[in-house]
A and B are shown apart, each in its own frame.
Chain A
Amino acid sequence: MVRIGAFLVGLFFAGWLLVSFLVGAVAYVTDPPAVTVEHEFHRDPKHVAFSFDGPFGKYDQAQLQRGFQVFKEVCSACHSLKFVAFRDLKGIGYNEAEIKAIAKNWAIKTPDVDPKTGEMSTRAPIPADYFPKPFANNVAAAAANNNAIPPDLSLMTKARHHGSAYVYSLLTGFQAQPAELLKEFPDAKTPEGLHYNPYFANLNLAMAPPLTADGQVTYGDGTKATVDQMSQDIAAFLTWTAEPKLENRRRAGLATIFFLLIATGLAYMAYQNIWADKKKAA
């Protein structure tokens, strides 16, 4: 009884799946799915080498500080970094006095309540504060940016495939729309106010190229601030903001795996030892 019922159920599901397959296959042949402009012109991130690549890679603190400078002077005008606090900058090599000064002189103020009147007010951030947001709310952010809300950057490199390379590619990827694209997809012309970038998912993004000229920031360590260099540095900094515990993690991993290898080796010997008499030919 069970087997007859099962046979009928199986016949139904398998049969109907084959019918669905045939319907789909006929449609696929007679009316092949249209190629989309994204499918043809979207590019995977460029290959770029970072100091933190590979299982033993470490952050380059000088690079993180340069990246932080790019964030401070360029990105922070529109993008928030809400999961990072000023105190966290200790992780990229600033000391307490420097962090205090960075917080105090930050261009955007931290919202607060006036202790005397209870009115809404602002004050200079202190190291315990998170980076203040550039816009009071999403409506203000959208209004100031052609209806697109600049995303928070704290986790950006983990929120995209190959995030570090993605940030670098996006920043260096702005270009004029290729002629072939317009010839093949005349409707896909980049709309007014958007900017063509083949590394962006739908090819057109609201952000104007933020890094446009060499020397846009002046690095304290004498590194030449080319667009390429600045893009790498900010990508490295945003990798750190997304994964500040990367070095701890890899260090802990090395110790853990070393311990486990020894423990497992001993466990294997114990296993062989205990089983010795059972595995011998009797």
Chain B
Amino acid sequence: MSFPWAEQYTPKHPVMQWVDEKLPLPRLVYNAVGAGYPVPRNLNYFWNFGVLAGLALVIQIVTGVIMAMHYGANTLVAFGTVEQTMRDVNAGWLMRYAHANGASFFFIVVYLHIFRGLYFGSYKAPREMVWLLGLVIFLLMMATAFMGYVLPWGQMSYWGAKVITGLFGAIPVVGEPIQTWLLGGFAPGNASLNRFFSLHFLLPFVIAAVVILHIWALHIPGSSNPTGVEVKGPQDTVPFHPYYTAKDGFGAGIFLILFAVLLFYAPNYLGHPDNYIEANPLSTPAHIVPEWYFWPFYAILRAFTVDFFFVPAKLLGVLAMFASILLLFFLPWLDTSAVRSGSYRPTFRKFFWILIIDVLILGYCGGAPAAEPYVMISQIAAAYYFAHFLIILPLISRFEKPLPLPNSITEAVLAKYGKTDGETVAVAAE
């Protein structure tokens, strides 16, 4: 940890002294998530979601490894082995429902984590690398979730795989060979299912590795905080353990309660009924929709309905969909405002909430059938999405007059808890 007042690890037990001398792993843990990591003292509950995303990843890996023990990656048996897991494996239904709904909860907490970063400007210097690695994790999650959804080999699995790999078919000239190469055939089949299973097993461990890099990069500048004011001294921080381990313990409890409610009482609520029908290449479902966490991007994909001269609308949709995620990689350089936190940026804040509503509208339209008026609504909403990040945000950061920042984190905290010394409060309120 970079702060000079970070406590150093001093092993007390002789065994730990022996271990730490040979392999300073205890030291690493102590400095990463122990008392040796000073964290701003004013983090709000939105800072819980990083740890919750880690928890969700662990739940996915544990349930997934158990599911894999009972799964047959072959189009002839895949659907049946998943059903058998649900019916004949001890607590198989629990593993399966936990894994399917765990994916949804993983995305819920990651989306909240991303929106926290957007509102509080966590992507700004010196934390650009934390943001970039986070986006890499997000892309890996999307790939993993997509391939995982194919594995039960239901109708939506099959047709989802067909539509998503079909996106590559939109690329001119090389598109169709690429699609065939990705699928290992002209349509999703046994070769596709096998490679998706292999990659679906591999990628979570790649995610875990990038998570380590993400946390490593975070520890160079230390955590950001709701005021966006940098840490000035030891009075601004508390050690991660026990302060934030205790707070994260409470957050994890709330997370698990909500997870349990869905898992035990509405396990199919977020799924699509068609995926309980075995894949049938001869029967196309009435509406092919991906899982809910892809809906905003699916809406952007379908919003392009008019060819741009020689560029077909489908290719535009594919480019726009990828662009809608890739543009986030440029965010640290698009938003040039020196003030990080949205709390001190009145204009930015208004547009931020418009963006949230906009993304929710896109999500709703992405889940709806590809018919009017949903297409028209998604066109307006998608236009705002691009305009927000690529046009409005850079302009705001140039012209906005931010509110005065508190002098330090401690000052902001003391103002909140009603320090009796009137002088400091007056400074904070200015």
Contacts and interface: CB of A to CB of B under 8 A. Distances in A.
Interface residues on B, range: 35 or more
Interface string A245-266: 1001110111011001101100
Contacts of B256: 260, 264
B16 to A, nearest CB: 24
Interface in A151-165: 151, 154-155, 158-161, 163
A281 B93 contact: no
A264 B387 contact: no
A263 B251 CA distance: 11
A3 B379 contact: no
B316 interface: yes
A242 interface: yes
Contact of B274 (A14, A16, A159): A159
Given A83-B80, A244-B87, 17 more contacts: A6-B334, A10-B386, A17-B379, A20-B313, A21-B379, A21-B383, A23-B306, A24-B379, A28-B372, A154-B83, A155-B277, A252-B264, A257-B257, A257-B261, A267-B252, A271-B246, A281-B418
A278 interface: yes
Contact of A264 (B83, B253, B263, B267): B253
B2 interface: no
Interface string B289-318: 000000000000001111010000100100
A20 B83 contact: no
Given A10-B391, A260-B260, A281 B417 contact: yes
Contacts of B305: 20, 23-24
A10 B264 contact: no
B378 to A, nearest CB: 9
B373 interface: yes
B320 interface: yes
A2 interface: yes
A9 interface: yes
B414 A281 contact: yes
Given A19-B306, A23-B305, A282-B419, A275 B243 contact: yes
Main secondary structure of the interface of B (DSSP, over half): helix
B86 interface: yes
A261 B420 CA distance: 37
Contacts of A83: 80, 83-84, 87
Interface residues on A, range: 35 or more
| Residue in A17, A55, A249, A282 with the greatest tally of chain B CB atoms within 10 Å | A17
B268 A55 contact: no
Nearest to B336: A3
Contact of A278 (B243, B372, B391): B243
A20 B303 contact: yes
A197 to B, nearest CB: 17
26 contacts: A2-B330, A3-B336, A6-B334, A6-B391, A7-B390, A10-B387, A17-B303, A17-B380, A19-B306, A20-B304, A21-B376, A24-B379, A28-B376, A155-B83, A158-B268, A159-B273, A159-B276, A163-B273, A245-B87, A249-B94, A250-B264, A252-B94, A253-B263, A257-B261, A271-B250, A278-B238
Interface string A81-96: 0010000100000000
A145 B67 CA distance: 38
A2 B333 contact: yes
B189 interface: no
Contacts of A280: 417
B375 interface: yes
A279 interface: yes
A236 B119 CA distance: 49
Contacts of B303: 17, 20
Nearest to A38: B286
B246 A14 contact: no
Interface of B: 41, 80, 83-84, 86-87, 93-94, 97, 238, 242-243, 246-247, 249-250, 252-254, 256-257, 260-261, 263-265, 267-268, 273-274, 276-277, 286, 303-306, 308, 313, 316, 320, 323, 327, 330, 333-334, 336, 371-373, 375-376, 379-380, 382-384, 386-387, 389-391, 394, 414, 417-420
A275 B247 contact: yes
Contacts of A245: 86-87, 93
B274 A33 contact: no
B263 A260 contact: no
Contact of B391 (A11, A159, A271, A281): A11
Contacts of B261: 253, 257
Given A21-B376, A249-B267, A260-B260, A16 B304 contact: yes
A20 B243 contact: no
A123 B87 CA distance: 25
A17 B263 contact: no
A17 B383 contact: yes
Contacts of A16: 304, 306, 308, 316
B419 A18 contact: no
Nearest to B86: A245
| Residue in A33, A248, A254, A274 with the greatest tally of chain B CB atoms within 10 Å | A274
Given A24-B375, A278-B243, A160 B257 contact: no
A33 B371 contact: yes
Contacts of A3: 333-334, 336, 394
| Residue in B257, B303, B327, B379 with the greatest tally of chain A CB atoms within 10 Å | B379
